Chain A
Amino acid sequence: MSTISALHTTNHVKHAPHGASHGPANYLTAGYGWKSWLFTVDHKRIGLLYLVSVTAFFMIGMAAAGLIRYNLIDPKGMLPADLYNKVFTAHGIVMVFLFLVPVVPGVLGNFLIPIMIGAKDLAFPKLNLLSWYLYMAGAACACWALLSGGVDTGWTLYPPYSSRSHTNVAPVAVGIFIAGFSSILTGLNIIVTVHQMRCPGMTWFRMPLFVWAMYATSLIMLLATPVLAVTVTLLAVERLAQIGIFDPKLGGDPLLFQHMFWFYSHPAVYIMILPGMGVISEVITCFSRKNIFGYTAVAWSSVGIAVVGFLVWGHHMFVAGEGYYLAMVFSLLSMFVAVPSAIKVFNWTATLYRGSITFQAPMLYALGFIALFTVGGVTGLFLATLGTDRHLHDTYFVIAHFHFTMVGGMVMAYFAGIHFWWPKITGKMYSDFWSRIAAILMCVGFFMTFIPQFIAGYMGLPRRYNTYPPEFQVLNVLSSAGSTVLGFAYLFPFTYLIHSIFYGKKAGDNPWGATGLEWQTTSPPPTFNFNYEPVVTEMPYEYSLATAPKPTFSYSSNGEAVKEEEHTHVH
């Protein structure tokens, strides 16, 4: 580390090709105007293109979620039944395919992976830009279909209903196909980058755990997404030709669609959670100022989740006519996924143990992740158990379970990551006070929204109906109230992060005193990431060494950011 810092301080001052009056050039000042963004091949700028677009789709998905919760305030439903069907389908499709899958790989993965491994860019910069355009094209197609008439099948598009529904199923299938292709190309790019572009000294077992998690995610993207692509293609052909491949009228088998769909979509939930787990490993170590407990175990558990995740898809069809013995095998294999997931949770907890913990916003989000993801993971075991699944299948219990992993897990982790790397991405620091308030509010709103759904599901309330028996009204109103709090909490970061771009204090190169190559370059980084040739000589989380970087940033008592020139002690 000391070698790198020395090189860094001597070299970065000299390098100022443009804008000498504004200090050293960075990737943000390297070009101006819309062309410099829409035709960029810089992975950092493409990451920001993703940031803007996933934020937009998150808001669309949130609006749909708001309508769902609005409808369920009253037992008779506030919206017409068919509109309700379209709204929850739109919520699922937008959130899964346009937000959760691309969010961390697209934004943080794009921005960070090359920097974290000491490369100048991803292996295929133009392909990276193409991925974004494909994503936008798929998203435009899907959003057009969802907004102009909508789709009423649910995001899973199960035939035979989806082959007969008079709604826009085919355009949505095309949109998912194109967005899937984008995700394949992103995964391919990341895998090749990790194999080929690591800087001298960056061995596989010196890579940050975020890179390991993204590598495992990319394997799933590469191996699972094409199966979804061919499945939705067959579905689209079936609809256009009006001849069933999955339609039982012609001898087709709807269960085969479910097998093929979940062969992608179950591994895809790990596409949606693994990157988040990678973020948490980075944040937990930094804010407990400790080396990660069991680096190798955490690294391999990412790969373990990716591998075992491919073998559990059948647990979605326990009550759909799957054979008993097959169901038993899938039940057992589903339990196995808990092992690598638990390895991660235990190792994070062990990392916290006796750490010098500070509760800045990224850490609050990360701790929220651990709590919520653990609940989500443990309730997953209830559903993987054949007997309990008979009772809980297709109830609000399932909804609450996967929202705990996807929203409580991935969205919290994404916010942890955005808050952690925001100073690196923009060079600016956001309000400490408001960011902590937002993190706490998000947890409170989240619990209020989804704990009642666990109870309602346990009591047998089935999902996807726009009406419900009146005795469930208290739980539903509680949940809707919680979703309002959650919705407001999401608006906070949107506001103070944008505010920080214009009015935030300069963050400095390494405000958190974090290890990792990304913290040794300037904030924001130069176009080719480093003004020197990075060389790695040690493991990624050496916080205990005397040479480890110290936080350079602290806050005054009223939450305003203050840059401390000489900051020697750790809170």
Chain B
Amino acid sequence: MSTDSSGVLAHHFNNMEQQQSTARLGMWMFLVTEALFFGGIFVAYTAYRIWYPEAFLAGSAKLNVLIGGINSLLLLTSSLTITLAIHAAHEGKQDALKRWLLATILLAVAFLGFKAREYYLDYEEHLIPGALFSKPISEGEHTKPSPAQDCEKDNVSAEHVQLFFMFYYCMTGLHVLHMLVGIGLISWLYLLAQRGYFKPPERYVYVEVTSLYWHFVDMMWFFLMALLYCAGPHTMAQMHL
């Protein structure tokens, strides 16, 4: 029975160890579900890539690897900062905890900023499946050929390249959604930290389970990087912000 008076131990647990390992196992189980969720779309992507390899490489070649690379670095760093936040919470260092949580949030927001910029550049390049895909791009007086015309020149099916972009938007979109949830969770931790919720150091486990989720989102990004960005050949000309 609970002899704890500070309210750290929830009513239905017998001891702190049980409560902490329950929280951890819960998050791992959730990540199992998430792995299958992303796994489903990866399988669909893989099937189409096996059927239409040239089109998928041509689509990948149109993506901006510079922004993709910067974003990879940002996310990797955010995994470090959230790990430092766990350490701070475990040691009971409230200021350091808040600092590292804030750093994680800022890195994540920077990621989303770059991602938004990238989507906008994609839009300018008419890399959107649908009518826009076959519309020539006007830049002042002269016009550039549409992505569909590029496909025709490279002798790949414009339909199949659009299929690649459907996957690009669905997969990165789902990832952005997971990022937003993660930012929400970490901001919630930050608010709790400000209110002194993490003063009992046993509560570090909530920072830990949030970090598990965050690492997972981070890891998914590297799968997307490999599947979407690194599949096709790239030139220096595409590396612009």
State how many residues of chain B have any CB contact under 8 Å with chain A: 36
Which residues does chain A contribute within 8 Å of B30, judged by CB atoms? 188
Which residues does chain A contribute within 8 Å of B130, judged by CB atoms? 241-243
Nearest 6 pairs between A and B by C-beta?
A: A226-B37, A230-B40, A121-B12, A120-B12, A226-B36, A227-B40
Within residues 205 to 231 of chain A, which ones have a CB less than 8 A from any CB in chain B?
A: 222-227, 229-231
Query: Known contacts A121-B12, A192-B29: does B157 contact A234 (CB below 8 Å)?
Result: no
Given A122-B12, A251-B159, A533-B1, 17 further pairs, Cβ under 8 A = A121-B11, A184-B33, A191-B29, A192-B29, A222-B32, A223-B32, A227-B39, A230-B37, A233-B170, A237-B170, A241-B130, A243-B129, A250-B162, A252-B48, A256-B47, A260-B44, A528-B11
Within residues 125 to 143 of chain A, which ones have a CB less than 8 A from any CB in chain B?
A: 125, 127
Give residues in B with beta carbon < 8 Å to A: 1, 11-12, 18, 21-22, 25-26, 29-30, 32-34, 36-41, 43-44, 47-48, 51-52, 129-130, 157, 159-160, 162-163, 166-167, 170, 174
- What are 7 A-B pairs at a CB distance below 8 A? A227-B36, A230-B38, A243-B166, A245-B44, A245-B166, A251-B163, A252-B163
Q: In the bound complex, how far is the Cα of B42 from the Cα of A338, in angstroms?
A: 31
Residue of A225, A241, A251 contacting most chain B CB atoms (<10 Å): A251
Q: Is A124 an interface residue (CB 8 A)?
A: yes
Which of A123, A224, A241, A252 contacts B22, CB < 8 Å? Answer: A123
Which residues does chain A contribute within 8 Å of B18, judged by CB atoms? 196-197
> Do A243 and B162 have beta carbons less than 8 Å apart?
yes
Q: In the bound complex, how far is the Cα of B169 from the Cα of A237, in angstroms?
A: 10
> Do A188 and B33 have beta carbons less than 8 Å apart?
yes
Q: Is A560 an interface residue (CB 8 A)?
A: no
Q: Which residue of A lies closest to B28 (CB)?
A: A192
> Do A256 and B44 have beta carbons less than 8 Å apart?
yes
Determine how close the nearest CB of chain B comes to the CB of A123; give it in whole angstroms. Answer: 5
Determine how close the nearest CB of chain B comes to the CB of A401; give it in whole angstroms. Answer: 27
Determine how close the nearest CB of chain B comes to the CB of A128; give it in whole angstroms. Answer: 11
Q: In the bound complex, how far is the Cα of B25 from the Cα of A188, in angstroms?
A: 9
Q: Which residue of A lies closest to B10 (CB)?
A: A125
Which residues does chain B contribute within 8 Å of A256, judged by CB atoms? 44, 47
Interface residues on A, range: 35 or more
Q: Which residue of A lies closest to B32 (CB)?
A: A222
Q: In the bound complex, how far is the Cα of B170 from the Cα of A238, in angstroms?
A: 10
Within residues 249 to 278 of chain A, which ones have a CB less than 8 A from any CB in chain B?
A: 249-253, 256, 260, 263
Q: In the bound complex, how far is the Cα of B25 from the Cα of A127, in angstroms?
A: 14
Determine how close the nearest CB of chain B comes to the CB of A259; give it in whole angstroms. Answer: 8
Residue of B29, B32, B43, B157 contacting most chain A CB atoms (<10 Å): B29
Which residues does chain B contribute within 8 Å of A224, judged by CB atoms? 36
Q: Which residue of A lies closest to B43 (CB)?
A: A260
Q: Which residue of A lies closest to B133 (CB)?
A: A243
Q: In the bound complex, how far is the Cα of B26 from the Cα of A167, in angstroms?
A: 38
Main secondary structure of the interface of A (DSSP, over half): helix
Q: Which residue of B lies closest to A228 (CB)?
A: B40
Which of B25, B37, B160, B170 contacts A227, CB < 8 Å? Answer: B37
Which residues does chain B contribute within 8 Å of A195, judged by CB atoms? 25
> Do A260 and B163 have beta carbons less than 8 Å apart?
no
Q: Which residue of B lies closest to A126 (CB)?
A: B10
Which of B26, B29, B170 contacts A234, CB < 8 Å? Answer: B170
Which residues does chain A contribute within 8 Å of B129, judged by CB atoms? 241, 243
Q: Hey, what's the 0/1 contact readout for A163-190 against B, CB within 8 Å counting as 1?
A: 0000000000000000000001000110
Q: In the bound complex, how far is the Cα of B160 from the Cα of A127, in angstroms?
A: 42
Q: Is A119 an interface residue (CB 8 A)?
A: yes
Determine how close the nearest CB of chain A comes to the CB of B88; give it in whole angstroms. Answer: 26
Q: Which residue of A lies closest to B44 (CB)?
A: A256
Q: Which residue of B lies closest to A193 (CB)?
A: B22
> Do A223 and B29 have beta carbons less than 8 Å apart?
no
Which of B11, B41, B157, B162 contacts A230, CB < 8 Å? Answer: B41
> Do A196 and B41 have beta carbons less than 8 Å apart?
no
> Do A120 and B11 have beta carbons less than 8 Å apart?
yes
> Do A125 and B33 have beta carbons less than 8 Å apart?
no
> Do B29 and A188 have beta carbons less than 8 Å apart?
yes
> Do B33 and A225 have beta carbons less than 8 Å apart?
yes
Query: Known contacts A196-B18, A222-B33, A251-B52: does B44 contact A234 (CB below 8 Å)?
Result: yes
Which residues does chain A contribute within 8 Å of B157, judged by CB atoms? 251
Q: In the bound complex, how far is the Cα of B130 from the Cα of A15, in angstroms?
A: 69
Q: In the bound complex, how far is the Cα of B43 from the Cα of A219, in angstroms?
A: 21
Q: Which residue of B lies closest to A121 (CB)?
A: B12
> Do B163 and A250 have beta carbons less than 8 Å apart?
yes
Determine how close the nearest CB of chain A comes to the CB of B160; give it in whole angstroms. Answer: 5
Q: In the bound complex, how far is the Cα of B19 from the Cα of A435, in angstroms?
A: 43
> Do B26 and A188 have beta carbons less than 8 Å apart?
yes
Determine how close the nearest CB of chain A comes to the CB of B1; give it in whole angstroms. Answer: 8
Which residues does chain B contribute within 8 Å of A233, judged by CB atoms? 170, 174
> Do A226 and B34 have beta carbons less than 8 Å apart?
yes
Q: In the bound complex, how far is the Cα of B21 from the Cα of A251, in angstroms?
A: 47
Which residues does chain B contribute within 8 Å of A253, judged by CB atoms? 47-48, 51
Determine how close the nearest CB of chain A comes to the CB of B122; give it in whole angstroms. Answer: 15
Which residues does chain A contribute within 8 Å of B47, judged by CB atoms? 253, 256
Which residues does chain B contribute within 8 Å of A197, judged by CB atoms? 12, 18, 22
Q: In the bound complex, how far is the Cα of B48 from the Cα of A260, in angstroms?
A: 14
> Do A192 and B25 have beta carbons less than 8 Å apart?
yes
Q: In the bound complex, how far is the Cα of B160 from the Cα of A195, in angstroms?
A: 47
Which residues does chain A contribute within 8 Å of B1, judged by CB atoms? 533
Determine how close the nearest CB of chain B comes to the CB of A218; give it in whole angstroms. Answer: 9
Query: Known contacts A124-B26, A192-B26, A256-B47: does B41 contact A234 (CB below 8 Å)?
Result: yes
Q: Which residue of A lies closest to B160 (CB)?
A: A251
> Do A222 and B29 have beta carbons less than 8 Å apart?
yes
Determine how close the nearest CB of chain B comes to the CB of A75; give it in whole angstroms. Answer: 42
Which residues does chain A contribute within 8 Å of B48, judged by CB atoms? 251-253
Which residues does chain A contribute within 8 Å of B163, judged by CB atoms? 245, 250-252
Q: In the bound complex, how far is the Cα of B12 from the Cα of A123, in angstroms?
A: 8
Which residues does chain A contribute within 8 Å of B21, judged by CB atoms? 196
Within residues 269 to 301 of chain A, which ones have a CB less than 8 A from any CB in chain B?
A: none
Determine how close the nearest CB of chain B comes to the CB of A34; give it in whole angstroms. Answer: 23
Q: In the bound complex, how far is the Cα of B19 from the Cα of A124, in angstroms?
A: 10
Q: Which residue of B lies closest to A196 (CB)?
A: B22
